[in-house]
């Protein structure tokens, strides 16, 4: 009588590039790993992930519409048993810190080897931190600096935690544009704009949009120009 073998490690991938998805599928070809779902956007992932409930989810940061960090913020609390690992070209400390702050279990850049990716997925599933040593050191350094900062923090530091897309949304918000106008300008949906605004208010500790816009327009404030 046939018996079932050990359960496979179930992985979901979120990336808008088909070539990347193909490469990741090939890298994760192993007897103990199974690719159970793929999504090309955060919106698709939000719909699909709660149905699939993967053990490990690999998420790109640069996605059309809602970005990968915002996806982590939306999903981490809904899927507490899923280990979310960023797989991205970005090595920016801001992206690293934000992703981990919102519940990511690891952070990998796309120059990782096939063997390294497979090893990281297994490590994440085992509850270990899936991250290169240099990034772990960056994270520790950031936490040490944050501990030394005065209580309440600094508005400039808070603005520095915003993603490039959130900076773009906030810039348009400070110019008095509506959600629909912002959506048209950035080629995203009004609902995605609302999600970004909620994230902005949370990161800045602002009570409303007007307060967030005021902080953005504060005299002498350095504001990095959005790139997307």
Give pLDDT, residue 148.
59
**pLDDT the model gives residue 226:** 42
pLDDT interval class at 178 (50, 70, 90): confident
Domain boundaries defined on the chain:
9-142, 155-216
* 86-141 tens-digit pLDDT: 999 998 888 888 888 888 999 999 999 999 999 999 999 998 889 988 888 888 77
At 4 the pLDDT is 61
Give the E-state strand segments of the chain in sequence order.
9-14, 33-39, 56-59, 83-88, 106-109
Q: What confidence category does residue 220 fall into, taking pLDDT thresholds of 50, 70 and 90?
A: very low
Token reading at 191: 């609902």
Percentage of the chain surpassing pLDDT 90?
39
Q: What percent of the chain has pLDDT over 70?
A: 86
Which H/E stretch holds residue 54? none
Q: What is the pLDDT of residue 59?
A: 97
Band (pLDDT 50/70/90 cuts) for residue 33 is: very high
Model confidence over 144-165: pLDDT tens digits? Answer: 666 555 544 456 667 778 888 8
**Cβ partners under 8 Å of residue 86, min gap 6:** 58, 59, 60, 61, 68, 69, 72, 95, 96, 99, 104, 106, 107, 108
* pLDDT reported for residue 155: 63
Same fold: 9-142 with 155-216: no
Question: Which CATH number applies to 9-142?
Answer: 3.40.50.2300
- pLDDT, position 228: 40
pLDDT reported for residue 164: 83
CATH number of 155-216: 1.10.10.10
Sheet holding 56-59, edge to edge: 33-39, 9-14, 56-59, 83-88, 106-109
Q: How far apart are CA 173 and CA 156, in angstroms?
A: 18
Separation of alpha carbons 102 and 202, rounded Å:
11
Question: So what's the pLDDT on residue 120?
Answer: 95
pLDDT at 156: 65
Average pLDDT over residues 158-174: 83
- Which pLDDT tens digit goes with each residue over 43-62? 999 999 999 999 999 999 99
Per the model's pLDDT, the better-predicted residue between 175 and 183 turns out to be 183
Identify the residue with better confidence: 25 or 193. 25
Q: Full-prediction pTM beyond 0.85?
A: no
């Amino acid at each position: 009588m046939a018996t079932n073998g050990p359960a496979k490690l179930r992985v979901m991938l979120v990336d808008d590039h088909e070539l990347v998805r193909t490469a990741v599928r090939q890298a994760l070809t192993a007897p103990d790993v199974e690719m159970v779902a793929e999504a090309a956007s955060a919106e698709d992932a939000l719909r699909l992930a709660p149905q699939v409930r993967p053990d490990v989810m690999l998420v790109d940061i640069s996605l059309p519409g809602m970005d990968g960090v915002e996806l982590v913020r939306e999903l981490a609390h809904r899927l507490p048993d899923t280990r979310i690992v960023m797989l991205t070209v970005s090595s920016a400390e801001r992206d690293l810190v934000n992703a981990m702050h919102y519940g990511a279990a690891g952070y990998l850049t796309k120059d990782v080897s096939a063997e390294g990716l497979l090893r990281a997925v297994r490590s994440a599933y085992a509850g270990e931190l899936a991250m290169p040593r240099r990034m772990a050191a960056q994270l520790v350094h950031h936490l040490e600096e944050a501990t030394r900062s005065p209580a309440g923090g600094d508005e400039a530091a808070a603005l520095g935690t915003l993603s490039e897309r959130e900076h773009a949304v906030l810039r348009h918000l400070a110019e008095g544009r509506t959600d629909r106008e912002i959506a048209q300008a950035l080629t995203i949906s009004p609902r995605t704009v609302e999600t970004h605004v909620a994230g902005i208010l949370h990161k800045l500790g602002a009570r409303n949009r007007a307060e967030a816009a005021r902080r953005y327009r504060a005299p002498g404030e350095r504001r990095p120009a959005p790139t997307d």
